[in-house]
Amino acid sequence: MGVSCVFSYPVPEGRSGAQVVDILQKQVETMGGSKTGTFYVDCETYQSVMLNPPKTLHILHNSEYPASCFAILDSGATLVADTLFIALMSNLKNIYQAWKGAKIESKGNRFQLADFILKIGSVSLAGSFKGILLEVEYCPCIVASECWAMLKELLQSLIGNIAESPPSALKKKKWMKSTPQQPQCCSTWTISTTLGKLPP
Amino acid sequence: MNQQQDQGQTDLIVQCLTLVQKLRHGVGQVFKDLSDGVSDYVEETTEKEDTDGASSKNETTSKDKTGSQKEVTVGGDKEESQEKHRAILRTLKASLETISHDFSDLEKTGSTINSVQSFSNIDNLSLDPVDKNTVMHSQLLQSYKWTNKMHEFATQAVTVLAQNSLKRTSSPKFTSSKMLKGSMHVACHVPPATVDQLIASLVLTYKDMGMDISISRPLGNSTILQVELCRVLRAVVVLRGLMIEWVKVKGLDETFESDDRQMDIWSSSRYQVFQKITDHAVAASLHYYAPAKPDLAIKSYLLWLQGYSTLFSSPCHKCGRYLQNNLPPTWRDYRSREPFHDVCRV
């Protein structure tokens, strides 16, 4: 529940996503990281039926909190509920309907490196590969600006210049625990990390 | 100069040895001559006796016939034996003279040799040809070297320790009698009110430095300080009187409360970085142990702990990096409070 940063890692031309993920994983293992299982984050989007312009509702699951389900509205209002919340949504068909083909998910391996947790996930939108996300979490610290230099040092040996400057959101909000980088997964990561403050 | 003297001494010793050899030879010769001569003489006499016996028989049988002739032969025999006797005596005398000459020579040379100066018993031991003893000799040399080394280190340690005015050992040898007044027992048995008073003043002092200190006594007389430092760490410090007895450091998202709402001062942090800091903090509590001035000890200890407020944000003072073995600089210098990695501080 510490500070975490998410970076999108570009896939160079002529290489498949799986290859790049493999290289990254090998790098982490060389640095001394040990694999501690897999992770999974997904986001389903619902749209309101009646209202115009339609409002959207994102529902997220995170394998770090297997018994919980997170919801976020456009307005930024968030909700933490049991996993059964998704069943309730099917009863609200008349108000919110699932947006077909908008289910985005990221899954991959989870590595532990001393007090760091590294997650290398390949992101797919409705089943097709979209990119690679790297999440780095430093658990003992809770203030992002404090340990940013440390995170940068770790990341530079792993992904190079991508981690050169701190994410813009981090500059604004010193207390924020995580920063979204990829617009597609924005809500996913925001919620999966900001909600970390709340008891899972 | 010394070498020359040594050379002269060796020459003298060699000379002496030759003389001794000569003397031995001379004495041996004397004994040989003596034994040869005597045996010769004895043989002569027995022969003579035999002839004498025979002649006496002859005498009894034919007295007048051979009497005069016989006397002549006996007289010649006697003369011969006497001659031999004299010769033996001469040789003996000559040999004895050589011996006495040799002996006086030896005495003369011997007196000029200085007695060998023995340094210690070890030197005598090294002369001992028995094998098992020579093993002891090498061991003794080894231990001698070690003792020398130890002495040297002890001298250095004394110079280093003499610079530190705060003495922990309350032995009159190392501490002045003035220091002894506030002894360890006083530091342990301090009424809770005094502790409260001291801590209250410390709370005020350290509040500006981002250190929140709260005081509680869930375990009876022992005071427990709960320190929260600048959104970085939480520490629990158990005091016995005014002496620091136990320290534990945890992360801000961890708690010192067990499931049943009891104070839990035993469990360790789940983060490696805070486990490491706990180790260092325990070591520091020993460093700041000063029963003579317990209030100063607590004060400086908390000040040292305050140095961790930049735990995640300051690079190592030596290598200039943030991470070493994936851990931030977890050690703070006792004097300067500069951050160091565990491996960089040497």
Convert chain B into a string of H (helix), E (strand) and C (coil): CHHHHHHHHHHHHHHHHHHHHHHHHHHHHHHHHHHHHHHHHHHHHHHHHHHHHHHHHHHHHCHHHHHHHHHHHHHHHHHHHHHHHHHHHHHHHHHHHHHHHHHHHHHHHHHHCCCCCCCCHHHHHHHCCCHHHHHHHHHHHHHHHHHHHHHHHHHHHHHHHHHCCCCCCCCCCCCCHHHHCCCHHHHHCCCHHHHHHHHHHHHHHHHCCCEEEEEECCCCCCEEEEEEECCCEEEEEEEECCEEEEEEEEECCCCCECCCCCECCCCCCCCHHHHHHHHHHHHHHHHCCCCCCHHHHHHHHHHHHHHHHHCCCCCCCCCCCCCECCECCCEECCCCCCEECCCCCC
Task: Write the residue in A1, A113, A147 that is nearest to B312 by C-beta.
Answer: A147
**Dihedral sign of CA atoms A3, A114, B232, A166 in order:** negative
Split at pLDDT 50, 70, 90, the class of B76 is low
Question: What pTM, to 2 d.p., does this model score?
Answer: 0.60
Split at pLDDT 50, 70, 90, the class of B118 is low
Tell me what the mean pLDDT of segment A122-133 comes to. 85
Tell me what the mean pLDDT of segment B95-108 comes to. 88
Task: Write the residue in B315, B322, B326 that is nearest to A113 by C-beta.
Answer: B326
Report whether pLDDT(B27) > 70.
yes
Running DSSP on this structure, what letter comes out for residue A49?
S
Task: Give the H/E segment covering residue A19.
Answer: helix A17-30
Q: Which residues of A touch B327 (CB under 8 A)?
A: 114-115
At residue B226, φ and ψ (nearest 5 deg) are: -105, 120
Lowest mean pLDDT among A143-157, B262-276, B304-318: A143-157
| Assigned token pair, A14 | 């002529």
Per-residue confidence (pLDDT) for residue B255, from 0 to 100: 87
Report whether pLDDT(B156) > 50.
yes
Per-residue confidence (pLDDT) for residue B281, from 0 to 100: 93
Residue among B110, B145, B158, B157 at smallest CA distance from B14? B110
Q: Do A116 and B326 touch (CB under 8 A)?
A: yes
Alpha-carbon distance A146 to nearest alpha carbon in chain B (angstroms): 5
Report whether pLDDT(B279) > 90.
yes
Residue among A59, A47, A98, A39 at smallest CA distance from A191? A59
Q: How many CB pairs under 8 A join A and B?
A: 52
Tell me what the mean pLDDT of segment B71-82 comes to. 68
Report whether pLDDT(B125) > 70.
no
Mean predicted lDDT score pLDDT of chain B? 79
Report whether pLDDT(A199) > 50.
no
Tokens 């002529």 -> residue: A14
Per-residue confidence (pLDDT) for residue A36, from 0 to 100: 92
Q: Do B326 and A147 touch (CB under 8 A)?
A: no
Task: Write the residue in B252, B326, B328 that is nearest to A142 by C-beta.
Answer: B252
Q: Secondary structure of chain A: what % helix, strand, coil (to 5)? A: 30, 40, 30
Lowest mean pLDDT among A89-98, A146-155, B125-134, B271-280: B125-134
Per-residue confidence (pLDDT) for residue A158, from 0 to 100: 83
ipTM of the modeled complex: 0.76
Per-residue confidence (pLDDT) for residue B275, from 0 to 100: 93
Q: Which residues of A touch B271 (CB under 8 A)?
A: 115, 139-140
> What is the rounded CA–CA span in Å between residue B102 and residue B89?
19
A54 vs B171, residue with greater confidence: A54
Task: Sketch out chain A's domains with CATH numbers.
Answer: 3-195 (2.40.320)
Tell me what the mean pLDDT of segment A92-103 comes to. 82
* Pair A194, A177: CB distance under 8 Å: yes
The distance of Cα B258 from the centroid of its chain, to the nearest Å, equals 53
Q: Does A141 touch chain B (CB under 8 A)?
A: yes
> What is the rounded CA–CA span in Å between residue B315 and residue A22?
32
Split at pLDDT 50, 70, 90, the class of A35 is very high
pLDDT tens digits, B182-229: 455 567 778 888 888 888 888 888 888 888 888 888 878 888 999 998
> What is the rounded CA–CA span in Å between residue B89 and residue B109?
30
Tell me what the mean pLDDT of segment B15-23 comes to. 89
Per-residue confidence (pLDDT) for residue A167, from 0 to 100: 60
Tell me what the mean pLDDT of segment A172-190 comes to. 36
> What is the rounded CA–CA span in Å between residue B332 and residue B311?
9
Per-residue confidence (pLDDT) for residue A190, from 0 to 100: 42
Per-residue confidence (pLDDT) for residue A1, from 0 to 100: 65
Per-residue confidence (pLDDT) for residue B127, from 0 to 100: 66
For residue A143, what is the nearest residue in chain B, using CA coordinates?
Answer: B231
Report whether pLDDT(B154) > 90.
yes
Q: Give the number of other Cβ atoms within 10 Å of residue B184's Cβ.
A: 16
Q: Does A142 touch chain B (CB under 8 A)?
A: yes
Stated length of chain B: 346
Q: Do A114 and B272 touch (CB under 8 A)?
A: yes
For residue A146, what is the nearest residue in chain B, using CA coordinates?
Answer: B313
Per-residue confidence (pLDDT) for residue A171, from 0 to 100: 47
Report whether pLDDT(B64) > 70.
no
> What is the rounded CA–CA span in Å between residue B208 and residue B81?
130
Q: Give the number of other Cβ atoms within 10 Å of residue A62's Cβ.
A: 23
| Assigned token pair, B140 | 């003794």
Of chain B, the percentage scoring pLDDT greater than 90 comes to 18
What is the β-pairing status of strands B339-340 and B331-332? antiparallel
Task: Write the residue in A31, A116, A146 that is nearest to B312 by C-beta.
Answer: A146
pLDDT tens digits, A129-169: 888 888 888 888 888 778 888 888 888 888 777 666 666 55
Per-residue confidence (pLDDT) for residue B344, from 0 to 100: 87
Running DSSP on this structure, what letter comes out for residue A43?
E
Tokens 């998910």 -> residue: A105
Q: Do B251 and A140 touch (CB under 8 A)?
A: yes
Q: What is the largest CA-CA distance in chain B?
A: 155
Chain B residues within 8 A (CB-CB) of chain A? 231-232, 251-253, 271-274, 312-313, 315, 321-323, 325-328
Per-residue confidence (pLDDT) for residue A99, from 0 to 100: 81
